[in-house]
Amino acid sequence: MVRLITHNMLACHVKNCTKDNFPLVFSEVELVIRESEANYDFLRRFMPKLDWPALVDTARSLGDETLPDDQPEEWTDEQLQALHHVLMEMHVEEGNMTCRGCGHVYPISNGIPNMLLAEHEVGR
Amino acid sequence: MLTSSFVCPATVSRPSKVSKMPLYVLRVCMEHATFRIPSLLSVAQLYGFSIKFISEDADRGIVVIELDDDEDVDKLLERGTLILPAGEKLPPDPYAKPSSDLRLTMLSTASRLLAQADSYDQLHAYLHEHPEGLRPYLDKNFKFFVEGINHRIPSSRQRKSIDAFEQHGYTGKAAMKDPEVEFIIYEEYDLNEAHSHEKSHRLERDGQFRQVYFCVKMGESRARPLIQAHSVKTRSYYGNTSMEAEMGFLMAGQALPAPGKIVYDPFAGTGSMLYSCAHWGATVLGSDIDGRQMRGKGQGKGYVPGVYRAADQYGVRDRVLDCMTFDITRGPWRRGGWLDAVVTDPPYYRPPSRPYELVNLTRDLVLFARWILVPGGRLVFFLPTVSEDYDAVDVPVVEGMRELKWGEGSVQDFGKWGRRLITMEKTADDDGARPSFDDSEAVEVDSGAKIPGHFQFRERYHEKFTPRLQPSSSAASPGPET
């Protein structure tokens, strides 16, 4: 269940990969929607931490067109509900997250992304 | 915020009279005594009020506190979700909602203190002199409860103690079921004599209590039953590193979890810390280098990982934001300054991806928290340590982070080793630099310097803590493995 709020905070961390390492691009996605109760205070507080263009692009890549291009300055309840839906209710259960910079693929299975780097997997 | 709450008016003790401010009696368990005050202060800080400790002896089963700011109590009442023993303020009907949601797993009962004294004679004399405290309760249907602390009072004398209260003019009826008011009498005895259970000795010391407290019960802790409800024994998913529920909740309490906050465990393992923090409303994140710890044995499409099954069991699945497999020392977090707390039990018991001296791990954890926490956010972690070597300097000193410590600190003692619960607060306003986790600096240990108590902890654990000689060159330079 990689949620988009989490996804928005993740970047590729392969050594020396510093260009286009965010946001990671979803592919072969199995998406599950789980409704939950919105906490608008939480959303308002978290907004400044978000990378808005990355969030909008990612939501659209998963078929959700509800977010405006520019981050609103004043939020209506309807917009907050849309933001809640995108951040908290969209769960990527299966699929891949790929780095646009270096091409590294981070697979997601059973909702848990594997972000261990290859060298360490080998090292174990 | 309430940093001053960590300055204790410690010398106040045993007031002969009940002061004007409402005093509360907290009946606390005797275990984990060094966790008491920090836990209480964390609750106070979370809800923004201050506590004055009237008595806080570590070896007592009772803590008497004063909540001295009425406006803060009002704030508490306004915020709704919190239900502290605030029934005191706005007295119209103190027993209408006799509940306390003191998030203290060690607390069993909270009550309002009406009187305390060295003897029953003094107690009753005080109540005659100050009848206003008892007056509002006299016409209520009541129930009495007598408890000896560190002592079992014979039932005949319990009866006698209760009957003596008739002199204050009760008009209500005794009601064992659904009483309107519950009175509690605590007789508090010294601990050092408590281990003798011989009947003759018990009878001899009966009545030789240190203090007697007369209180009106306000409520029972709802946190204490969590120890049972979250017991690892009945958890649908757990592992050999799962933390026992009581310690998990004690630890979680230090992180000030609340709705709207995000708490992160970078060594999540089987998720123990996630459940307790989520129970108190926080949204939680977990990661671990070993995905099998979080997943459990199954795989394939439709399989529900173990951490999510346990979160389901506790009704907090939606509060688990995500669990991820990665090595925190090579973590993928894009930016700092967005987590409210980092709570973790670092893995001294299993090797991380590469040889990693615990001294370095601890320092890097503090640096990581300095970067990723919001200002005022908390880092809570266990620091295993060989007891005799431990010294306060062992907690890494990092600019922008400060330790919140009460007295000698909170320690869970296992004899030759112990683990200290360290609580730190981010004092910096900025995110600062992303920590490198390069583990490149050798731990400088020269023969004259103090060796941190957790230095080479893993090795010493396996050596069963045989006394350590002066560090030889081979033992003292764990340096980078090259």
3-class DSSP assignment, residue B16: coil
Q: What are residue B366's phi and psi, to 5 degrees? A: -70, -40
For chain A, give every domain's residue range.
Answer: 2-121
Q: What is the pLDDT of residue B131?
A: 92
Asked if A1 is an interface residue toward chain B (Cβ–Cβ < 8 A), one would say yes
Tell me if B47 sits within 8 A of B7, measured CB to CB.
Answer: no
Tell me if B332 sits within 8 A of B361, measured CB to CB.
Answer: no
Q: Which chain B residues have a beta carbon less than 8 Å from that of A11? A: 332-334
| Confidence class for position B196, pLDDT limits 50, 70, 90 | low
ipTM tops the 0.90 cut:
yes
| Confidence class for position A21, pLDDT limits 50, 70, 90 | very high
- Name the token pair of B391: 């010294």
Q: What is the pLDDT of residue A123?
A: 30
Helix axes B245-254, B272-279, angle to 10 degrees: 60
Query: What contacts B444, CB < 8 A, 6 or more positions away?
Result: none
Strand partners, A92: A2, A31
Tell me if B16 sits within 8 A of B130, measured CB to CB.
Answer: no
CB pairs under 8 A between A and B: 84
Asked if the Cβ–Cβ distance from B321 to A5 is below 8 Å, we say yes
Interface test with B, best of A24, A115, A122, A124 (most B CBs within 10 A): A115
Q: Residue B214, exposed/middle/buried by CB under 10 A (0-12, 13-18, 19+)?
A: buried
- The amino acid that residue B68 corresponds to is D
Query: What contacts B288, CB < 8 A, 6 or more positions away?
Result: B266, B267, B268, B269, B294, B323, B325
Asked if the Cβ–Cβ distance from A6 to B325 is below 8 Å, we say no
Domains belonging to chain B, first-starting first, are: 10-220 (3.30.2130), 231-426 (3.40.50.150)
Q: Does residue B19 or residue B26 have the better pLDDT? A: B26
Q: List the alpha helices (DSSP H) in B99-183.
A: 120-129, 155-163
Question: Does the pLDDT at position B299 exceed 90?
Answer: no
Asked if the Cβ–Cβ distance from B318 to A111 is below 8 Å, we say no
Asked if A12 is an interface residue toward chain B (Cβ–Cβ < 8 A), one would say yes
Asked if A2 is an interface residue toward chain B (Cβ–Cβ < 8 A), one would say yes
Helix axes B245-254, B36-47, angle to 10 degrees: 50
Q: What are residue A11's phi and psi, to 5 degrees? A: -130, 160
Tell me if B307 sits within 8 A of B237, measured CB to CB.
Answer: yes
| Digit-coded pLDDT (tens) for A32-64 | 999 999 999 999 999 999 999 999 999 999 999
- The amino acid that residue B420 corresponds to is R
Tell me if A2 sits within 8 A of B322, measured CB to CB.
Answer: yes
The full length of chain B comes to 482
Interface of B with A (CB under 8 A): 259-260, 283, 285, 289, 291, 294-295, 299, 301, 303-305, 308, 318, 321-327, 330-335, 337-338, 353-354
Q: Does residue B3 or residue B167 have the better pLDDT? A: B167
Interface test with A, best of B270, B321, B322, B353 (most A CBs within 10 A): B322
Q: Under CATH, which architecture does the A2-121 domain have? A: Single Sheet (2.20)
Question: Does the pLDDT at position B403 exceed 90?
Answer: yes
Query: What radius of gyration do chain B's Cα atoms show?
Result: 25
Search chain B and give the residue with CA nearest A18: B334
Tell me if B317 sits within 8 A of B283, measured CB to CB.
Answer: no
Chain-wide mean pLDDT for chain B?
76
Asked if the Cβ–Cβ distance from A115 to B325 is below 8 Å, we say yes
3-class DSSP assignment, residue B224: helix
Strand arrangement, sheet containing B51-55: B51-55, B62-67, B23-28, B107-117, B211-220, B181-188, B142-149
Asked if A105 is an interface residue toward chain B (Cβ–Cβ < 8 A), one would say no
Question: Does the pLDDT at position B367 exceed 70?
Answer: yes
Q: How far apart are CA B477 and CA B471, in angstroms?
A: 9
B291 to chain A, closest Cα gap in Å = 8
Tell me if A82 sits within 8 A of A67, measured CB to CB.
Answer: yes
- The amino acid that residue B281 corresponds to is G
Query: Which of B325, B332, B338 comes nearest A12 by C-beta?
Result: B332
Question: Does the pLDDT at position B35 exceed 70?
Answer: yes
- Name the token pair of A62: 């998963």
Query: What contacts B121, CB < 8 A, 6 or more positions away?
Result: none
Asked if the Cβ–Cβ distance from A6 to B334 is below 8 Å, we say no
